[in-house]
């Protein structure tokens, strides 16, 4: 038993290491997109709060104040997270797998081997179309909560990655 265990060690040190992966940062345009999206979100909420306050007379001023404070705290937190977390986001493509790194408070790294990818999908929303950004969604057979969406890349990059992925997937199948 012990002997075999030692063998394992050699085998482990021999394989490609995660530490050596170099991540490519997302396009700075994506940060703009995030900002725009969240500005719209927060604007809608503040409008709702103000309308509610003036529409219903029985809401006291203090609750209006509390709502405003909570709103601004969330706004500040969200936008500082976006700015600070953005440099952390990135993706990397190796010969046989794809990695995506994201998150500010909780760092997350997702790795999907090409031979486990079911299919790939490119999406573009309204604003992201104007900014020439796209989302590459990668589906595995794993549960949907763990599917990968690679955001903040140009349409061209998305097409390129899709090309790589589908050729590898078909090659393996």
Minimum Å gap between C-beta 84 and other proteins is 12
Q: Is 109 in the site for other proteins (CB under 8 A)?
A: yes
Residue 96 as a binder of other proteins (CB under 8 A): the answer is: yes
Distances (CA, A) of 44 to 38, 49, 143: 10, 9, 32
CA distance 22 to 16: 13
**Is residue 111 at the binding interface for other proteins, with CB under 8 A as the rule?**
yes
Q: Select the residue interacting with other proteins from 10, 22, 62, 141 (CB under 8 A).
A: 141
Extract long-range pairs of 78-86: CB within 8 Å, 24+ residues apart. Answer: 78/38, 78/42, 79/35, 79/38, 81/105, 82/31, 82/34, 82/35, 82/38, 83/31, 86/26, 86/30, 86/31, 86/34
Decide whether 96 or 123 has the Cβ nearer to other proteins.
96
Q: How far is the CB of 86 from other proteins (least distance, A)?
A: 17
Is 119 a residue that touches other proteins (CB under 8 A)? yes
Give all strands of the β-sheet with 134-140 in edge-to-edge order.
117-123, 134-140, 148-153
Shortest separation between residue 11's beta carbon and other proteins, angstroms: 8
Cβ 68 to other proteins shortest distance, Å: 28
Q: Which residues bind other proteins (CB under 8 A)?
A: 1, 4-5, 8, 12, 15-19, 96-97, 103, 105-116, 118-119, 139-146, 148, 172
């Amino acid at each position: 038993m012990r002997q075999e265990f030692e063998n394992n060690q050699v085998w482990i040190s021999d394989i490609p290491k995660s530490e050596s992966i170099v991540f490519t940062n997302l396009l700075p345009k994506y940060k703009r997109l995030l900002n725009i999206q969240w500005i719209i979100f927060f604007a809608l909420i503040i409008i709702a709060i103000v309308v509610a306050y003036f529409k219903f007379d029985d809401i006291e001023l203090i609750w209006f104040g509390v709502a405003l404070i909570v709103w601004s705290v969330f706004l500040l937190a969200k936008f500082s997270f976006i700015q600070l977390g953005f440099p952390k986001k990135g993706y990397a493509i190796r010969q046989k797998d794809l990695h995506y790194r994201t998150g500010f408070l909780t760092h997350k790294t997702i790795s999907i081997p090409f031979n486990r990818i079911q299919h790939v999908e490119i999406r573009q929303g309204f604003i992201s179309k104007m900014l020439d950004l796209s989302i590459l969604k990668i589906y595995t057979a794993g549960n949907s909560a763990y599917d990968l969406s690679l955001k903040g890349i140009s349409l061209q990059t998305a097409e390129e990655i899709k090309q790589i992925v589908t050729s590898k997937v078909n090659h393996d199948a």
